[in-house]
Structures are given as C-alpha cells and as structure tokens.
A and B are shown apart, each in its own frame.
Chain A
C-alpha cells in the first residue's frame, strides 16, 4: 500500500515536471556529471525559454571567469518561489551544474544553487531540475 502510494505520488510529481526545453539538455550538457561553481552572482535574467544566472568565479591567479548557468523558465521559477529578489547581484553562491559538453565552455545547467551567507537554496527538491 505504501509502495503504491509512493508510485502515485512520484507520478504526480513527475507529471508536474516541465519538459519545455527549446533545446536538448542531454545534448548540450553532460548530464552524467556535476561540478560545483563557487563565486559571486553578477547577473540574473529570469525569462523564457530559459533563465540565465551569471556567476563570476575568481581564479587563484586573480583573474575572473564568468559562468553562464542555464535554468528553468521564469514562470517555472516563479511557481517555486524564485523571483528577481531571491538571489541578488553580489550574493556569494555555490552552484551545482551539469557542465557543458563543449570544450573549454563555462556554461552549465543548473542543478542546485545555494547562497552561502544564509543557506537559501533552490534545486534540492524533486522536480526542480528542468529537462
């Protein structure tokens, strides 16, 4: 009985998972790998078809690189409580991403983001990763 309930609950949750990618996430990113990007939020654009978070990462030699992290569409974020004020410019963040398949690319697919100052995060719950 519990098992059946779990299946039904999972099915309901998955039914709500948006499958609206304008491109193939599996083709763009290596979905079998995750890496963590640590840096400072420099731009947030919540929009359709996908939102982009820009994170500036400081290298040990003092240079900086910009990571472009692709996430859910603005309306999907909004339904899950992420709006323009959720993460702000200058926030120190740790972002778990599927890295791009493209060589030398600093693009990634958003899996989880955490603001290190207060632990606010998105992506840890089922259905938050967008396909």
Chain B
C-alpha cells in the first residue's frame, strides 16, 4: 500500500513538472556559477604561449607576419592593454570562472537576455535573446562585442559582432575588428560545454573552432577585480616593443623545445586535418633554436594589390543615418566623412559637413536628430544663465548654428556650401551674418583652400592660429574646444572636444578602418600623426578596463574609444619603425613599396583602392625629409 501511494505521488509530481511550461526562449537553465576546468592547453596557460607557436590555428600569412614581429612586452608597456578584457574569441581559454544570470521581462516573464560575467571582464556581457537587431556598423566596438542568442534544441547559440581588435593566442596572433564569434553552450550537468568559433575574414583562412569545459560551482563567487593600468615607461617616450620582420630570434623556440616540426608549429589550415600527420611524420624538428626569415606569400599578402585592381566605385550616400554617441552629441554617418553634431536648445553645431552630394540626406538626418530631442534640460551646473537661456532658445525647428571643419578634405568640407545655403542654417550671434561665426577651421585649412581656388562657399569663414580655440560661450550646456594637431594629416588638422558629453571629433587623424590619408605636400607627416594620436589618447579617459569613457568619432568608420585609438597608434608606430629601418638602409621608395612593410595590417586597413600605396609613400617621404 505504501509503495502504491509513493508511486502515485511520484507520478503526480512528474506530471506537475511536465505541466510547468518552460520559458519559450529558454528550454534549459544555464544560470549559476561555473568553474573553468583546465584540462586542455596547459602549456598555453603555464608558462604561456611561446613566440612563434601557431599550432592548431588556421591563420593566414598576414597573421603570421603580424605575430612573428610581435613582442609580448607590449602588454606591460601599454597602459591601454594591461587591463583589456578577453574577447569571446579567447575568453573560454582564459581560466576565468563565470557567472550566468537571466534578465527577465517583468511583465511577460520571458527571458530577455543572459548576462555572463567573468572574473576579468569590465562589466556584464549581455546575450540578447529577444530578437533585437544588430547595432549600426558605425556603433562602438567593445571587448565583449554585441551578442545575440537563440536556442537550437537545448544548445544556446551566441553570435557576437562589434568586437575590438584582439587575439586568439597570447603570442600576437591577432583577431580583427571584423571578426565574428559564434559560441555553442550545451548543458550536460554538472558540466557546461562551450564550443567557440572565430570567423575572421582578415586573419583566418577558415573558422577556428575550439572548446572549453566548465563545471558547476554553486558556492563560487567572483572576486573583485579592480584592474588599474599603469604607464610604466618612466621618463621614456611611449614605444611599442616589436621585432622588425626577420629579426625575431624566438620563432623556432617552441618547435625546438617540444621537438615538433617547425612546419607544423607555423600553423595553417592544412595542419588541422588528419592528412597532416602523414606529412608531419616525414619532417624533423629543428636541431637548434635559430632566427629564421619567413616568407609570406598567400592571398592575404596581396590585399592592397587586389584593392588597387578593383574598378573605382562611385560613392554612394544612400545609407546616411544619425546615431547617438553620448550626451547631446550625435554622429551622422555614411555621408563621406563622418559628421558630428551637438544638438539641443541652442540648435546644432556641426563638425564637418560630409560630401557635397550627400547634403540632402545629411539635412534629413539633422531633422531626424531634431525630432528625437527631448525638451531642454535644466543644466545641472551652476549657471546664472541656464534656465532663461534654455527657455529662450527652446527649439521649434531644426537649426544649424555653425560648422567646424577638422580639415580641408573634400569629404569633410564638401557639404559646407549646401548646408550654408539651407534654410536650416541660422547663425547665432550678430544680426549681420558676416560678423558671426559660420564655418570655423584652423587658418591653414582656409589658406590652402583659397590657394586651391575652392568655391567661396566651401571655404571656412573664421579661423584660429593658436594651439587651442574655445568657443566663446557654452553651446548646449557644454564647452566646445578645438585643438590644432600640427603636421599630422596636413598642417591644419583640428580635433573638436565636446567637454560635458566627453566626445571628441577626431577628423582624419583617426580613421578606424583605413590607413590615415597623410598628405606630405600639405604639411602632414607620420611622426606628427603619431604625436596627434598620442595627444588624442592623453585627452581621453576610459571608463573602466580599457573601454568606454571618452568617445572618439573618427573621420571615417565606427565610434571608438581610447583603446581603439591605442591599437591604431601602435600599428602606425610599428610601420613607421619598419620604414625608418628601410630608409636607414638607403632603400628607395620603390624598394620600400616592394618590401610591403604594411602587409600584415593591410587586411584590416588596406582594403580601399590606392590607400596602402599612398600611405607607404607618405610615411617614406616624411621620414626621408
């Protein structure tokens, strides 16, 4: 009888469990704390990846060259790298325990997102499962990226984009900011299996698939991780430790120590398949450690030539769109050069005006920004004018008060005339427009445009000659300051800092996806460009763990922070040093170009026709002077 009763109770319990509906978008519960199990890649953790060891990685020759010339000491010398969190393309190999939580919609009780925290991430990584679209291609990239998830059966598939440039192994094997990471999380209690795949069009020839295992650890707590970067190059000018191509003495160390053939240690997709074993059996490990001069020949080393061979495409401006940056500052992207707008009760100040052919769409974007504005806030700073000033200038219709030009590049000044002729352009200041600020730039920009006989309405009307220039009054509750960056792209570059929003419009001194368009004939130089980037980094503060904080809008490309600019600066310093070594050897420009000193960075920054060739020439000429 007792047995029968127990059986009935158990059956009812099972039915009750069965009758409880699972969340539609969350068939299994992965929440909890998880400990990483270090049963794979022990050598990779301790003592760490040796230089030149690319086993198991389907990398291309551009990635090899980049890693061959990499010096791990940069992680100690660069304060922007010391606290960088791992991206999902490496994190599961990074020993951190993790915690997974759910974000539940309070009304529908459905899962909106998973939050994944690792010991050494800046915040919580959010995996959206509510079907939201991907952010704009011009949105900020982060170490965690933008992740969406969906269940395939009981497996959670996570797709992550908008990543910062990072690595797949701690010896300089890079991943591009164009990489996508796809993770599959499968629950096999008490284990969580994570398979993670890196798809990188710039540095991998096929997807890199790896896995890691976590074990439930209900009592585990993530300790605080107050990562605090430090500039430890006391008294020195910032430098990037790296090896010139062919000079790294450590590239055979791993093969020699582990007695494996050097050909396999160099990695590549063909070493990942079973057929490789037969070939490897006939190869010998190196008899001694030595410096080698690898040859780089695969398709990834011809990115620039392929870009040059493409037929020039007519610029298209059909995707001009506004994007909020921070505070009251917006980006209008897709109009040639990026346009940065501060919008509020005082109207709009516009940094650069885009290409002339994009002006109609730019004005549409201005109207969109205007429609999205809220009534003016009462300023939270002590201001004797704040309330009345805001009330007096409450906006009724979109109003552009002035244009600031960061340079004379046609993609930045091309729209000046159309904007000035637009009914939206209503000046702030005197009734006589000729007395009011209209188009402001460094004096060198005006001088060069006048010299080039540019149409009058394109030419800046107001100029400054000093190192910095501050607008005579707060604009939309914040100071607006211009900083002259001498001898960078040209002799007239400015960056514009919106101080309360903490957004810097960088102009062409920083283009997140292409080499800088240094124009030596107009006073630009590679060392001036590096100085400008160092200044930009010094003006910026990251929020925590090398990301966020001051937003930097490039002349072209996506919204960035100081870590992105740091990567870009380091890339330029490495190329500068390589070209300098060639100049010191007496090589001609043709010889330098033939030696391809930018080859390992071309997949990221050399994908537009003519860009790489012009950049190498500019670096050579500015160092040859």
Chain A interface residues toward B at CB < 8 A: 19-28, 31, 43, 45, 47-50, 52, 54, 66, 68, 70, 75, 100-102, 105, 107, 131
In the complex, which residue of chain B has the Cβ closest to the Cβ of A104? B241
In the complex, which residue of chain A has the Cβ closest to the Cβ of B96? A20
Q: How far is the CA of A95 from the CA of B250 in the complex (A)?
A: 25
Contacting pair A101 B228 (CB below 8 A): no
- The stretch from B67-75, B265-273, B406-414, B576-584 touching chain A is B67-75
Instruction: Decide if B47 is an interface residue (CB 8 Å cutoff).
Output: yes
Give the residues in chain A near B50, CB-CB below 8 Å: 24, 26-27
Contacting pair A24 B241 (CB below 8 A): no
Q: How far is the CA of A15 from the CA of B83 in the complex (A)?
A: 25
Which single member of B170, B226, B250 contacts A23 (CB below 8 Å)? B170
Contacting pair B230 A27 (CB below 8 A): no
Q: Which residues of B151-203 are within 8 A (CB) of A? A: 170-171
Q: How far is the CA of A52 from the CA of B51 in the complex (A)?
A: 23
Residue among A47, A49, A105, A107 facing the most chain B CB atoms (10 A cut-off): A49
In the complex, which residue of chain A has the Cβ closest to the Cβ of B73? A102
Shortest beta-carbon distance from B147 to chain A in Å: 22
Return 19 A-B CB contacts under 8 Å, by A number: A20-B120, A22-B82, A22-B84, A23-B75, A23-B170, A25-B47, A26-B49, A27-B72, A28-B72, A28-B76, A52-B230, A66-B234, A101-B51, A101-B72, A102-B71, A102-B73, A105-B73, A107-B76, A131-B47
Contacting pair B49 A27 (CB below 8 A): yes
In the complex, which residue of chain B has the Cβ closest to the Cβ of A45? B230
Q: How far is the CA of A19 from the CA of B232 in the complex (A)?
A: 22
Contacting pair B48 A25 (CB below 8 A): yes
Q: Which residues of B75-133 are within 8 A (CB) of A? A: 75-77, 82-84, 95, 120
Give the residues in chain B near A66, CB-CB below 8 Å: 234-235
Contacting pair A101 B75 (CB below 8 A): no
Which single member of B46, B73, B227, B228 contacts A28 (CB below 8 Å)? B73
Given A28-B76, A66-B234, A70-B76 in contact, is the A49-B48 Cβ separation under 8 Å? no
Q: How far is the CA of A18 from the CA of B279 in the complex (A)?
A: 39
Shortest beta-carbon distance from B401 to chain A in Å: 46
Chain B interface residues toward A at CB < 8 A: 38, 45-51, 71-73, 75-77, 82-84, 95, 120, 170-171, 223, 225-228, 230, 232-235, 241, 250
Shortest beta-carbon distance from B61 to chain A in Å: 21
Contacting pair A52 B232 (CB below 8 A): yes
Shortest beta-carbon distance from A51 to chain B in Å: 9
Contacting pair B73 A49 (CB below 8 A): no
Give the residues in chain B near A27, CB-CB below 8 Å: 48-51, 72, 170-171
Extra contacts besides A21-B48, A28-B73, A102-B241 (9): CB < 8 Å = A20-B95, A24-B50, A26-B49, A27-B48, A27-B51, A52-B232, A68-B234, A101-B51, A102-B71
Contacting pair B95 A54 (CB below 8 A): no
Shortest beta-carbon distance from A78 to chain B in Å: 12
Contacting pair B46 A19 (CB below 8 A): yes
Contacting pair A24 B227 (CB below 8 A): no
Give the residues in chain B near A25, CB-CB below 8 Å: 47-48
Given A27-B171, A28-B76, A105-B73 in contact, is the A47-B228 Cβ separation under 8 Å? yes
Contacting pair B73 A24 (CB below 8 A): no
User: Which 10 A-B residue pairings sit nearest by Cβ, starting from the closest?
Assistant: A24-B48, A26-B47, A23-B75, A26-B48, A27-B72, A24-B170, A28-B72, A102-B73, A47-B228, A131-B46
Give the residues in chain A near B84, CB-CB below 8 Å: 22
Residue among A25, A27, A48, A50 facing the most chain B CB atoms (10 A cut-off): A27
Which single member of B72, B223, B230, B235 contacts A24 (CB below 8 Å)? B72
Q: How far is the CA of A115 from the CA of B228 in the complex (A)?
A: 26
Q: How far is the CA of A66 from the CA of B236 in the complex (A)?
A: 11
Contacting pair B171 A24 (CB below 8 A): yes
Q: How far is the CA of A43 from the CA of B223 in the complex (A)?
A: 27
Q: How far is the CA of A77 from the CA of B393 in the complex (A)?
A: 58
Residue among B46, B47, B233 facing the most chain A CB atoms (10 A cut-off): B47
Shortest beta-carbon distance from B62 to chain A in Å: 20
Contacting pair B76 A19 (CB below 8 A): no
Contacting pair B226 A48 (CB below 8 A): yes
Contacting pair B120 A22 (CB below 8 A): yes
Q: How far is the CA of A49 from the CA of B250 in the complex (A)?
A: 26
Contacting pair A105 B72 (CB below 8 A): no
Shortest beta-carbon distance from B288 to chain A in Å: 14
Given A45-B230, A105-B241 in contact, is the A23-B76 Cβ separation under 8 Å? yes
Which single member of A19, A26, A31 contacts B95 (CB below 8 Å)? A19
Shortest beta-carbon distance from B312 to chain A in Å: 43
Give the residues in chain A near B230, CB-CB below 8 Å: 45, 47, 52
Q: How far is the CA of A47 from the CA of B45 in the complex (A)?
A: 21
Give the residues in chain A near B235, CB-CB below 8 Å: 66
Q: How far is the CA of A68 from the CA of B235 in the complex (A)?
A: 12
Shortest beta-carbon distance from A112 to chain B in Å: 17
In the complex, which residue of chain B has the Cβ closest to the Cβ of A100? B73
Q: How far is the CA of A62 from the CA of B373 in the complex (A)?
A: 65
Q: How far is the CA of A43 from the CA of B233 in the complex (A)?
A: 13
Given A102-B71, A102-B241, A131-B47 in contact, is the A49-B76 Cβ separation under 8 Å? no
Shortest beta-carbon distance from A108 to chain B in Å: 10
Shortest beta-carbon distance from B403 to chain A in Å: 44
Contacting pair A131 B49 (CB below 8 A): no
Shortest beta-carbon distance from A4 to chain B in Å: 22
Which single member of B72, B77, B228, B234 contacts A48 (CB below 8 Å)? B228
Give the residues in chain B near A54, CB-CB below 8 Å: 232, 234
Contacting pair A48 B227 (CB below 8 A): yes
Residue among A22, A45, A50, A131 facing the most chain B CB atoms (10 A cut-off): A22
In the complex, which residue of chain B has the Cβ closest to the Cβ of A31? B47
Q: How far is the CA of A49 from the CA of B241 in the complex (A)?
A: 20
Q: How far is the CA of A70 from the CA of B76 in the complex (A)?
A: 8
In the complex, which residue of chain B has the Cβ closest to the Cβ of A14? B46
Contacting pair A107 B73 (CB below 8 A): yes
Q: How far is the CA of A23 from the CA of B86 in the complex (A)?
A: 11
Contacting pair A48 B49 (CB below 8 A): no
Give the residues in chain B near A70, CB-CB below 8 Å: 76
Q: How far is the CA of A90 from the CA of B71 in the complex (A)?
A: 32
Shortest beta-carbon distance from B216 to chain A in Å: 18
Shortest beta-carbon distance from A19 to chain B in Å: 5
Give the residues in chain A near B228, CB-CB below 8 Å: 47-48
Give the residues in chain A near B76, CB-CB below 8 Å: 23, 28, 50, 68, 70, 107
Contacting pair A23 B48 (CB below 8 A): yes
Q: How far is the CA of A43 from the CA of B225 in the complex (A)?
A: 22
Shortest beta-carbon distance from B587 to chain A in Å: 22
Contacting pair A22 B234 (CB below 8 A): no
Contacting pair B234 A24 (CB below 8 A): no
Shortest beta-carbon distance from B501 to chain A in Å: 30
In the complex, which residue of chain B has the Cβ closest to the Cβ of A17? B46
Q: How far is the CA of A21 from the CA of B387 in the complex (A)?
A: 52
In the complex, which residue of chain A has the Cβ closest to the Cβ of B86? A22
